[in-house]
Copies of this chain bind each other. A is one copy, B any other.
Amino acid sequence: MQEHHVVVVGGGFGGLQVVHGLKGANVRITLIDRRNHHLFQPLLYQVATTALATSEIAWPIRRLYRDRREVTTLLSEVGGIDRQNRKVILTSGETVPFDTLVLATGARHAYFGNDAWEKHAPGLKTLEDATTIRRRLLLAFERAELASTEEEKQANLTFVVIGAGATGVEMAGMIADLAHKVLPPEFRNVDTRKTRVMLVEAGPRVLPAFTEELSAYSKKALEKLGVEVLLGTPVSDCTEEGVKIGDDFTPARTIIWAAGVQASPAAKWLDTPSDRAGRADVGPQLNIPSDPDIFVIGDTASVMQDNGKPVPGVAPAAKQQGAYVAEVIKSRLAGKTEQPAFHYRHQGNLATIGKSAAVADFGKIKLTGVLAWWIWGLAHIYFLIGTRSRLAVAWSWLWIYLSGQHSARLITQKETLKDEA
């Protein structure tokens, strides 16, 4: 009998956990991703704000499985699924047959019908997104230094972050820190302490996943760093010149989008029902209703918690789902017909504000300030893959802490002043 073939699409937190959980099982595994690297997205904002280098938070996927001969890694893009013939269709035209399929293809940022904004307000999901934002941030200060008018100077020194979830809060804090603490001694024609960092949120508070007390603390901590926090203020337009909030237009050369995501097209490939954000509906075993052997997990699946709320789109949720699916596959291969339903265990929420404050919410225990910041740092180092990355990130942070200097302040790719795009 031929070995059971599990195809996993997506090398993010969910996909890797499936492969990890199937270690030792009598299956052949093919892991497909259109990137050659797994990315530690929770620290991506630190690459965008020059604290970490790209290679510190990304690892070649195939290296992770060098010792697992049953795992084949393919750098390929998936274009569809042929459910009838049990095949994944690659955009190259080739196909990969499967017995069990796990789709863990994640999400992209979404502009809710305002796709034209993307050009002016890039989001943060990939390494390229991070180096794009880093380039724009650094070029804005360079342009301010060269500017001949006060208006041009101030427009370049105005940074608008849209969306006050964890990513938005973390970005705004880091930009304020960079402008007010790191850069001032380096510029001659401009005072970077005059930088305005605006955090614009349509909802009533920052960090809505936290308690109201922690949201209020975070708002204050941001304001202490010099961030202007605007709540209940939806953005009505983003242009090359700036951002419109209600009817007020603010000239700003750098706008960053941290306001929402849209699932990858997994549900479309499968022609299966999905929610408004494109997340596929899945049953209690995380497979789609019409096919027990096709699982969807992570940011591209719509899963409900026991309390009726959706499972949040965070790394621990994707990892739990990946581990669960691996167990279900093994259980079914062992001939068992019944599997317990997936149950999400919420481990808590963490977010940092600048370089010395953070908020942590572990249900009964809630922390703020320096202690929360240390827990945040240690947790993130712990979850990085491999000794080398842990040491490298710990070292980069220690260096920033001791010297006040960021190590990855490079403008690369299209780095001239004119053709940035």
Of A211-219, A267-275, A301-309, A404-412, which stretch is located at the interface? Answer: A404-412
Can you list, as one digit per residue, whether each of A407-419 has a CB less than 8 Å from chain B (1) or not (0)? Answer: 1111111011110
**Which of B74, B138, B187, B410 interacts with A54 by CB under 8 Å?**
B410
The reply to whether the CB of A156 lies closer than 8 angstroms to some CB of chain B is no
- Bound complex: CA A415 to CA B35 (Å): 7
Q: Which of A271-315 contact B (CB under 8 A)?
A: none
**Which of B36, B58, B411, B418 interacts with A91 by CB under 8 Å?**
B418
- Bound complex: CA A72 to CA B185 (Å): 11
A143: nearest residue on chain B (CB-CB)? B75
A187 to chain B: which residues have CB within 8 Å?
A: 62
Q: Evaluate whether A416 and B34 lie within 8 angstroms (CB atoms) in the complex, with A53-B54, A54-B410 already known.
A: yes
B76–A410 touching, CB < 8 Å: no
A63–B412 touching, CB < 8 Å: no
Q: Size range of the interface on A?
A: 35 or more
Q: Evaluate whether A410 and B77 lie within 8 angstroms (CB atoms) in the complex, with A62-B187, A67-B185, A92-B417 already known.
A: no
Q: How many copies does the complex hold?
A: 2
- Bound complex: CA A373 to CA B7 (Å): 45
A92 to chain B: which residues have CB within 8 Å?
A: 146, 417-418
- Bound complex: CA A73 to CA B138 (Å): 14
The reply to whether the CB of A188 lies closer than 8 angstroms to some CB of chain B is yes
A148: nearest residue on chain B (CB-CB)? B94
Q: Which of A180-199 contact B (CB under 8 A)?
A: 185-189
The reply to whether the CB of A26 lies closer than 8 angstroms to some CB of chain B is no
The reply to whether the CB of A238 lies closer than 8 angstroms to some CB of chain B is no
B410–A413 touching, CB < 8 Å: no
A391: nearest residue on chain B (CB-CB)? B395
The reply to whether the CB of A221 lies closer than 8 angstroms to some CB of chain B is no
B37–A410 touching, CB < 8 Å: yes
A55 to chain B: which residues have CB within 8 Å?
A: 53, 407-408, 410
**Which of B56, B63, B412 interacts with A409 by CB under 8 Å?**
B63
A34: nearest residue on chain B (CB-CB)? B416
The reply to whether the CB of A66 lies closer than 8 angstroms to some CB of chain B is yes
The reply to whether the CB of A362 lies closer than 8 angstroms to some CB of chain B is no
A411: nearest residue on chain B (CB-CB)? B36
- Bound complex: CA A128 to CA B131 (Å): 12
A361 to chain B: which residues have CB within 8 Å?
A: none
A60–B409 touching, CB < 8 Å: yes
**Which of B77, B142, B392, B408 interacts with A417 by CB under 8 Å?**
B77
The reply to whether the CB of A127 lies closer than 8 angstroms to some CB of chain B is yes
**Which of B56, B58, B411 interacts with A35 by CB under 8 Å?**
B411
- Bound complex: CA A388 to CA B416 (Å): 27
- Bound complex: CA A76 to CA B418 (Å): 10
The reply to whether the CB of A118 lies closer than 8 angstroms to some CB of chain B is no
B53–A128 touching, CB < 8 Å: no
Can you list, as one digit per residue, whether each of A34-45 has a CB less than 8 Å from chain B (1) or not (0)? Answer: 111100000000
The 9 closest A-B pairs by CB, nearest first: A53-B55, A66-B185, A75-B142, A55-B408, A36-B411, A60-B409, A62-B186, A72-B188, A66-B186
Jot down 26 A-B pairs with beta carbons below 8 A, ordered by A: A34-B415, A36-B142, A36-B410, A36-B411, A37-B409, A37-B411, A53-B54, A60-B186, A60-B409, A60-B410, A63-B405, A69-B188, A74-B145, A74-B146, A75-B139, A75-B411, A91-B418, A92-B146, A127-B410, A127-B412, A128-B415, A388-B399, A388-B403, A391-B395, A392-B407, A413-B413
